[in-house]
Copies of this chain bind each other. A is one copy, B any other.
Amino acid sequence: MLPDMSLEEAVAKGPYDAVVLPGGLKGAENIAQSATVKSLLEEQEKAGRVIGAICAAPAVSLAGIGIGQGKKMTCYPSLKDKLTGSGKHTFVDEKVVVDGQFITSQGPGTAFDFGLALVEKLEGSEKRASTAKAMLLQ
């Protein structure tokens, strides 16, 4: 993944309609250790704006730092215990789980479903349908 700008530059240009966290265990751990990301996510959650996370990220980068407490989420299935470890998050075994402002998904093979769920949340179901059609996702 090639960043367009540094995290600090990106935060300065915010706020954003959505903050989306990619997977990858090591990357998700690094993200979870960033105080800048933590305060970005806390502000995003407080303001009710969309937070997306896939693969390792829901367990490691959200639940791991106390974001989305009380919410239903999914993640890479082998990380289920990490997601539910604090007792404050509920694991749901579906490709994509939408609970309020939180959109989570399981892994590489569910990435298109995740992307379409984000499109639907941000742009509506017609845009989701036209995007899916153009990408041959039907």
Contacts and interface: CB of A to CB of B under 8 A. Distances in A.
Interface of A: 2, 76-77, 106-110, 112, 132, 135-138
Contacts of A135: 107-109
B112 A136 contact: no
Copies in the assembly, this chain: 2
15 contacts: A2-B2, A76-B136, A106-B136, A107-B136, A108-B112, A108-B135, A108-B136, A108-B137, A109-B112, A109-B132, A109-B135, A109-B136, A109-B137, A109-B138, A110-B136
A136 B110 CA distance: 7
A135 to B, nearest CB: 4
Overall SS of chain A's interface: loop
Contacts of A132: 109
A128 to B, nearest CB: 13
A131 to B, nearest CB: 10
A136 B96 CA distance: 13
Given A2-B2, A109-B135, 6 more contacts: A76-B136, A107-B135, A108-B112, A109-B112, A109-B136, A109-B138
